[in-house]
């Protein structure tokens, strides 16, 4: 049977029309995710590093085709390290239809945001929040770093090993991030006193508050301690170390991981030499994924990512991978738990049922103006 000319032309027209319609179809709606962190104020170094780590992860994912062919749109908010602002910007992102939020970066902000996220059934995935007050809960808060007690206990044990003759410490801790500082100090106290150490005095202060850091340094040294422990952000830790050294003290100084950003070195200078911290971040890592990330981050932002940038990049990629593997109407939390194990920059990230993880602790010391991992 032979087809006529008109009959042969009809199927071709149908094909051409289909191709034309396909070419005119609008692109699929982007997937919106949020980032919330303190990108202004006294702890802005941590928030900015986190923001940039998430931005880099989203940009790389979009360059690779997005999630299921859909671009990812990142909506960024500054919580100003203010609980009321944190609650407001989270509600704004919920109203704008984000499917999840990476953040916040500090425990105090998490305590303000988690009840709102739970009510909205919106996943919060934090790079750096470590308060014990959010551990072991079946809620919508997940994190990619370990909780306070493991890190604090390791710092206590390592100090006792390194300085067997320095078992009496004076402590300063910042109440502006109370959910972090109090639970961190609690974990340290248990391990330190259990190992034969003694906390002679613990002095609470408010970052940027009325008490001067000079006065705080004088009170710490007045205790006749063998060493100083500071549980505070990088700025206050650096400036307090300067005051201690100006008063002639050469006592060893320990700090919580919150302080260990590049800003600590910039502000502290020689005053922070020898300071010891424990982190879930290995600055000396030779893992290929981490080295590639560090190079890309440096080229884009012209600075080192530090622990905030690296953990935020991990958190964003965990979220993006969970979204890519989501099945049907599955929620983001359910999708993440169905995978559980994700590749991090330096080590696997494995979530338990409560959205908590356990990572190794790397002892880090300031040496010759650099944060260096020590055995």
Report pLDDT for 12.
56
Q: pLDDT-based confidence at 203, cuts 50/70/90? A: very high
Round to whole Å and give the CA distance between 62 and 69. 9
Q: Mean of the pLDDT values across residues 193-202?
A: 96
Report pLDDT for 2.
47
Reported pTM: 0.91
* 3-state secondary structure at position 169: strand
According to DSSP, the β-strands at 341-343 and 276-279 are unpaired
Q: CA separation (Å) from 247 to 202, 212, 218, 250? A: 19, 14, 8, 9
Bigger pLDDT: 270 vs 16: 270
Round to whole Å and give the CA distance between 7 and 14. 12
Report pLDDT for 21.
52
Q: Give the helix/strand (H/E) hosting 277.
A: strand 276-279
Residue 236, Cβ density class (10 Å: 0-12 exposed, 13-18 middle, ≥19 buried):
buried
Q: pLDDT-based confidence at 184, cuts 50/70/90? A: very high
What is the percentage of the chain residues whose pLDDT exceeds 70? 93
Give the tens place of pLDDT for each residue, 5-27: 445 455 555 555 554 555 556 77
Find the DSSP H helices in the chain: 5-24, 44-63, 83-95, 107-120, 148-162, 178-194, 213-221, 234-246, 262-268, 288-301, 306-325, 332-339
Left if phi > 0, otherwise alpha if psi is -120 to 50, otherwise beta: which for 372? Answer: beta
Q: Mean of the pLDDT values across residues 69-74?
A: 97
Average pLDDT value for the chain? 92
Round to whole Å and give the CA distance between 272 and 159. 16
Q: Has residue 245 got a pLDDT over 80? A: yes
CA 74 centroid distance within chain: 17
Give the tens place of pLDDT for each residue, 87-127: 999 999 999 999 999 999 999 999 999 999 999 999 999 99
Q: Mean of the pLDDT values across residues 41-48?
A: 92
Report pLDDT for 223.
95
* 3-state secondary structure at position 356: coil
The DSSP secondary structure of 103-160, one letter per residue, reads --SSHHHHHHHHHHHHHHT-EEEESS---GGGTT--SSEEESS--HHHHHHHHHHHHH
Selection from 38, 20, 51 nearest residue 78 by Cα: 38
Report pLDDT for 16.
53
Residue 166, Cβ density class (10 Å: 0-12 exposed, 13-18 middle, ≥19 buried):
middle
């Amino acid at each position: 049977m032979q087809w006529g000319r008109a009959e042969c032309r009809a199927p071709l027209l149908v094909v051409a029309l289909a191709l034309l319609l396909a070419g005119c179809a609008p692109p699929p709606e982007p997937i919106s995710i949020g980032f919330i962190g303190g990108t202004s104020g006294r702890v802005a170094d941590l928030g900015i590093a986190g923001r940039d780590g998430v931005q880099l992860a989203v940009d790389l994912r979009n360059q690779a085709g997005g999630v299921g062919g859909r671009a990812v749109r990142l909506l960024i908010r500054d919580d100003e390290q203010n609980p009321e602002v944190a609650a407001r910007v989270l509600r704004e992102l919920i109203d704008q239809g984000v499917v999840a939020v990476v953040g916040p970066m500090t425990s105090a902000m998490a305590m303000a945001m988690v009840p709102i996220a739970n009510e909205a059934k919106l996943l919060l995935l934090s790079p750096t929040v470590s308060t014990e007050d959010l551990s072991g809960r079946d809620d919508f808060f997940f994190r990619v770093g370990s909780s306070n007690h493991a890190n604090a206990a390791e710092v206590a044990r390592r100090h006792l090993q390194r300085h067997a003759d320095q078992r009496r410490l004076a402590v300063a801790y910042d109440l502006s991030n109370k959910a972090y500082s109090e639970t961190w100090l609690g974990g340290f106290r248990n391990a330190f006193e259990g190992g034969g150490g003694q906390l002679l005095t613990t002095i609470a202060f408010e970052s940027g508050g009325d008490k001067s850091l000079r006065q705080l340094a004088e009170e710490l040294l007045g205790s006749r301690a063998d060493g100083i422990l500071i549980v505070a952000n990088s700025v206050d830790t650096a400036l307090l170390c300067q005051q201690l050294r100006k008063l002639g003290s050469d006592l060893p100084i320990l700090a919580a991981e919150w302080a260990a950003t590049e800003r600590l070195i910039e502000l502290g200078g020689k005053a922070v030499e020898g300071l010891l911290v424990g982190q879930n971040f290995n600055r000396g890592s030779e893992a290929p994924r981490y080295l590639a990330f560090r190079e890309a981050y440096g080229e884009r932002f012209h600075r080192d990512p530090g622990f905030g940038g690296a953990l935020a990049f991990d958190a964003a990629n965990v979220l993006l991978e969970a979204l890519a593997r989501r099945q049907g109407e599955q929620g983001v939390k359910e999708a993440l738990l169905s995978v559980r194990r994700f590749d991090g920059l330096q080590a696997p990230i494995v979530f338990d049922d409560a959205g908590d993880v356990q990572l190794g602790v790397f002892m880090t010391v300031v040496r010759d103006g650099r944060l260096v991992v020590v055995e």
